[in-house]
A and B are shown apart, each in its own frame.
Chain A
Amino acid sequence: MREPFSSSAPPIVEIHRVTRQFGNKTALDDISLTVARGGVFGLIGGNGAGKTTLIKHILGLLKPQQGTVGVFGLDPVKEPVGTLGRIGYLSEDRDLPDWMRVGELMRYTQAFFPNWDEKYAEELRAAFDLDANARVKNLSRGQRARAGLLVALAHRPELLVLDEPSSGLDPVVRRDILGAIIRTIADEGRTVLFSSHLLDEVERVADRVAIIHQGRILLTASMEEIKVQHRRLTLRFDQSVEQPPFLVGTLCTEGKGAEWTYFCSGESLQLRNAAEALGATVVDDAGLTLDEIFVSRIQG
């Protein structure tokens, strides 16, 4: 996994104890989050977890009912020009002006961003195979996502925010988009924040991850730390048990009879010692995929 960029620079996003309710539903519950400058930050959660709501707070589209949000040290609600001028954003629903042609969309967007790189924009358009004369409404879903990504990337934003970038896309297009993300990372310490429920993709590209569930942050750590701190232990007991004995750090269990698998949070050595103290034999001790970590955290 790539090393994240230096975190000595001030964080690019600071969210402090933000709460947001829609009627009786609490979408965000006392959330605090910091996104350091540089690297790829993955925000993962199930449907309705609060990912898009959190992203909208970062973009200033929602005002926090409690708490504060800072982007580049500014309040995105009070300073939309100062913050949004440095952000490239691809929305989950690919909201683009349907009536514009791709070329017009590029020229229109260029006017808003002083850093727009025309040459780079043309390279992206060619790479994404988009016809400048095609109307946005006539683009396929994948082409629409690419058009959205083009206008988000072409002004070389300091912060690229992608909300479910791979949603509804075929594997080839997904690879293109992820390739674009990696290229962005390679350019001078830019930051990418993307939300997804496709955990295999997050696992491949993210440097740091935050797991959000029912409006709360369950976990924030680097990908390496997460992998190191989550293990799957399969234990065999001398006798069959109906319920597996408690093991410190267990998030969830599965199995039956005398053999049980524990999904744990903790270091391998400590967990093995704890397992042996229970009188069990460690049959298997393996790392977890991000998918398994996510599911066990939710169930735990």
Chain B
Amino acid sequence: MRSVPLAMTWELLHHGRWQMLLGLLGANLFPVLILTALRIDGAIDPTDQAFVTMQAVLVQMSAFMFGAGILSTQSNSSRMYTLPVRTSTLVAWRMFPAMVLMALQSVIWTSMINALYGLDWPLWAPALFSAVALAAIQSALWYSEKSPLLPLFVGFAGGTVGLWYKSHCGPIFANPTQIWKDVSPGDAATLTLLVGVSFVAASIGVARNRCGEPLGKQGLIAWIESWMGVSLEISARRTTGFQTRLDAQFWSEWSKKGWMLPVPVSFSMVIWFAVWVIFVRDPKELIVGLVAGGALLSVMGMIGGLIIGNCGSTEANLDVGQFLGTRPISNVDLAWTMLKVAAQSVLYSWLIWFVTSSVVVALLAVTGVSAVALLPAEVQWWYLPATLLGCWIFVGLLTSVTLTGRGQLLAQVVSTVLLLSIASMLFSKLLTWEMQAWLTSAALFAAGSSICGGVLWTMVAAIRQSLISSKVVAISGCVWMLLTIVVIYECWRQPVSNAINPIVSTVAAAMFFTGVASLVVVPFAAAPLAIKWNRHR
């Protein structure tokens, strides 16, 4: 390598080839699957308003996926601080090659979509937006590196650029009404300005970090940071001893990870409510949003489970660290401590959502609006416990899988589930409606019985290795039976409509949900097995 730009570009391309490939797959595969399914159904109509919305969403999703791939390749900048390179050069040759790749990916992706599906989506506007969005987020990351305000800065940068893009597609807080086709001189100037501001902010951030100076603490920033720091300190600070080792371990785990689910849930609710108050103010949208929030708890639970289950000494290393591994605590006690942290985290998060929703419903009732009347028809009595149990299932399951310390296994499990779902969805589009119904029933039945079998196997394995007591097994069995009875009752009470064979469909659905119900109790056996597998390699 004879020049810094060449060396840094080579590093990005060589070091990041797999991550970018993954990002590329993620950016392209999903839109291709959706559009293929639509084409098979004969539903591709470029003049359809839905396609306008789809274009806006897919552009941003594609930018997000590929951008995440690029950002993950760019290792910590501090590694380069001791090189004889100016800060501006460092920033420029980290930022600009990435922007070029981003724009190139967008152009290629859009050209491919247009060619395959006969669409006429614009090339350059999304490409330029994607490149500038990446630069803005990069600069926010570098500017607020090592500061607890990093999420705020990144959110502000991404949100600002995203809203600017959205403003080209119609009203900002309504569905898109048009596709942004032409880049006007004003747009070009704005984009150039955004890149310039991003570059300057990034250079200031990197220059500051290079000298080891933290983000300036003045005024509002200092207040926010001190509030965040004090809040976390109050919950974590320990000045007295512990009664037992379990208490000590629970304190350690909760202080480190327990709040990682409730805090984002609270934050999301505050942000969403603020957006509703400022821009929407429709009671029906409020209720629908709250209902959707209950379902989103499960999605957030996935991330919570990944964090809680990480008992490694660093975030990137899932192996039980030597400090934790050499504490005189049994695998069973360690696993139960993790599960207790997970359960408390789920409960707090659910309570935050439930109490907020209850307050909103009460306030609406005071103003004469019946929240029940605004509920979607699909939401029935089971929705409330399902939000709690659903969140627990995801958190408990992901915690147990992460506790194994096998990152590859985790990636394989997640990838397999995703690929199977996508493949079956795609495959089913090639079948007749009757065959789709049979296939769906068969898949549901197979999935449910596989899950039940897997749970039973896990329980037996844990019993054999004395990692679970007979009392816990009995309680788990009772809980599972109770949930199964409820599931079967509901399936019988509300059989699958429009089914080829209602009995088959109902049995398949019951089997599937019985399997899902078993996932409520599987962490009690899976977590100790996982810890043992991780701790003693």
- A112–B238 contact, CB under 8 A? no
**B535 contacts across to A, CB distance below 8 A:** 60-61, 80
B64 CB to closest chain A CB (Å) equals 30
**A80 contacts across to B, CB distance below 8 A:** 328-331, 535
Interface-forming stretch among A95-103, A195-203, A243-251? A95-103
- A95–B331 contact, CB under 8 A? no
Report how far A96 CA is from B249 CA in the complex, Å.
Answer: 14
- B322–A61 contact, CB under 8 A? yes
Tally inter-chain residue pairs, CB-CB below 8 A: 82
**A62 contacts across to B, CB distance below 8 A:** 536-537
Q: Is A254 an interface residue (CB 8 A)?
A: no
**B238 contacts across to A, CB distance below 8 A:** 104, 107-108
- B326–A87 contact, CB under 8 A? yes
A108 CB to closest chain B CB (Å) equals 5
Q: Which residue of B lies closest to A60 (CB)?
A: B536
- B326–A111 contact, CB under 8 A? no
Q: Is A222 an interface residue (CB 8 A)?
A: no
- B248–A91 contact, CB under 8 A? no
A251 CB to closest chain B CB (Å) equals 35
- B328–A95 contact, CB under 8 A? no
Q: How large is the interface on B (under 10, 10 to 19, 20 to 34, 35 or more residues)?
A: 20 to 34
Q: Is A85 an interface residue (CB 8 A)?
A: yes
Q: Is B242 an interface residue (CB 8 A)?
A: yes
| Centre residue among B244, B245, B255 by max chain A CB count within 10 A | B245
Q: Which residue of A lies closest to B256 (CB)?
A: A99
- B323–A107 contact, CB under 8 A? no
- B241–A107 contact, CB under 8 A? yes
Contacting A95 at CB < 8 Å: which of B251, B323, B536?
A: B323
Taking A62-B536, A95-B323 as contacts, is the C-beta distance between A107 and B240 under 8 angstroms? Answer: yes
**A93 contacts across to B, CB distance below 8 A:** 322
Q: Is B327 an interface residue (CB 8 A)?
A: yes
**B241 contacts across to A, CB distance below 8 A:** 107, 110-111
Q: Is A59 an interface residue (CB 8 A)?
A: yes
**B323 contacts across to A, CB distance below 8 A:** 91, 95-97
- A61–B255 contact, CB under 8 A? no
Instruction: Mark contacts of B321-356 with chain A using CB atoms, 8 A cut-off: 1 yes-contact digit, 0 otherwise.
Output: 111011111110000000000000000000000000
Instruction: Mark contacts of A96-132 with chain B using CB atoms, 8 A cut-off: 1 yes-contact digit, 0 otherwise.
Output: 1101100110011111110000000000000000000
**A85 contacts across to B, CB distance below 8 A:** 328
- B251–A89 contact, CB under 8 A? no
- A108–B251 contact, CB under 8 A? yes
| Centre residue among A80, A84, A85, A97 by max chain B CB count within 10 A | A80
- B537–A63 contact, CB under 8 A? yes
Q: Is A77 an interface residue (CB 8 A)?
A: yes
| Centre residue among A103, A111, A113 by max chain B CB count within 10 A | A111
Q: Is A278 an interface residue (CB 8 A)?
A: no
Q: Is B247 an interface residue (CB 8 A)?
A: yes
Q: Is B77 an interface residue (CB 8 A)?
A: no
Q: Which residue of A lies closest to B535 (CB)?
A: A61
**B328 contacts across to A, CB distance below 8 A:** 80-85, 112-113
- B326–A59 contact, CB under 8 A? yes
Report how far A180 CA is from B532 CA in the complex, Å.
Answer: 34
Q: Is B252 an interface residue (CB 8 A)?
A: yes
Q: Is B313 an interface residue (CB 8 A)?
A: yes
- B248–A111 contact, CB under 8 A? yes
Taking A87-B326, A93-B322 as contacts, is the C-beta distance between A61 and B537 under 8 angstroms? Answer: yes
Taking A63-B537, A84-B327 as contacts, is the C-beta distance between A95 and B242 under 8 angstroms? Answer: no
Contacting B242 at CB < 8 Å: which of A60, A97, A111?
A: A111
Report how far A113 CA is from B326 CA in the complex, Å.
Answer: 12
- A59–B325 contact, CB under 8 A? yes
**B239 contacts across to A, CB distance below 8 A:** 103
**B330 contacts across to A, CB distance below 8 A:** 80-81
Instruction: Mark contacts of B250-291 with chain A using CB atoms, 8 A cut-off: 1 yes-contact digit, 0 otherwise.
Output: 011001100000000000000000000000000000000000
Q: Which residue of B lies closest to A163 (CB)?
A: B322
**B252 contacts across to A, CB distance below 8 A:** 97, 100, 108
**A59 contacts across to B, CB distance below 8 A:** 322, 325-326
- B242–A61 contact, CB under 8 A? no
Q: Which residue of B lies closest to A89 (CB)?
A: B326
Report how far A294 CA is from B244 CA in the complex, Å.
Answer: 46
Report how far A158 CA is from B165 CA in the complex, Å.
Answer: 67
- A111–B244 contact, CB under 8 A? yes
Interface residues of A in 25-82 (CB under 8 A from B): 59-63, 77, 80-82
- A108–B329 contact, CB under 8 A? no
Report how far A62 CA is from B325 CA in the complex, Å.
Answer: 10
Report how far A178 CA is from B243 CA in the complex, Å.
Answer: 33
Q: Which residue of A lies closest to B321 (CB)?
A: A95
Report how far A107 CA is from B243 CA in the complex, Å.
Answer: 10
**A81 contacts across to B, CB distance below 8 A:** 328-330
- B326–A84 contact, CB under 8 A? yes
Interface residues of A in 150-197 (CB under 8 A from B): none
**A87 contacts across to B, CB distance below 8 A:** 326
B241 CB to closest chain A CB (Å) equals 5
Report how far A82 CA is from B240 CA in the complex, Å.
Answer: 26
A145 CB to closest chain B CB (Å) equals 13
**A99 contacts across to B, CB distance below 8 A:** 236, 255-256
Report how far A104 CA is from B249 CA in the complex, Å.
Answer: 12
Report how far A80 CA is from B330 CA in the complex, Å.
Answer: 6
Taking A81-B330, A96-B323 as contacts, is the C-beta distance between A112 and B248 under 8 angstroms? Answer: yes
**A100 contacts across to B, CB distance below 8 A:** 252
- B536–A63 contact, CB under 8 A? yes
B439 CB to closest chain A CB (Å) equals 42
Report how far A61 CA is from B243 CA in the complex, Å.
Answer: 27
**A61 contacts across to B, CB distance below 8 A:** 320, 322, 325-326, 535-537
Given contacts A85-B328, A91-B326, 7 further A-B contacts (CB under 8 A): A59-B322, A60-B536, A80-B328, A84-B328, A104-B238, A107-B240, A112-B328
| 29 A-B pairs with C-beta separation under 8 A | A61-B326, A61-B535, A61-B536, A61-B537, A62-B536, A62-B537, A80-B328, A82-B328, A84-B328, A85-B328, A87-B326, A89-B326, A95-B321, A96-B323, A97-B256, A99-B256, A100-B252, A103-B239, A104-B237, A104-B238, A107-B248, A108-B248, A109-B248, A110-B241, A110-B242, A110-B248, A111-B247, A111-B248, A112-B245
Considering the complex of A and B, which 6 residue pairs feature the smallest CB-CB distances, nearest first?
A: A111-B248, A85-B328, A111-B242, A84-B328, A91-B322, A95-B323
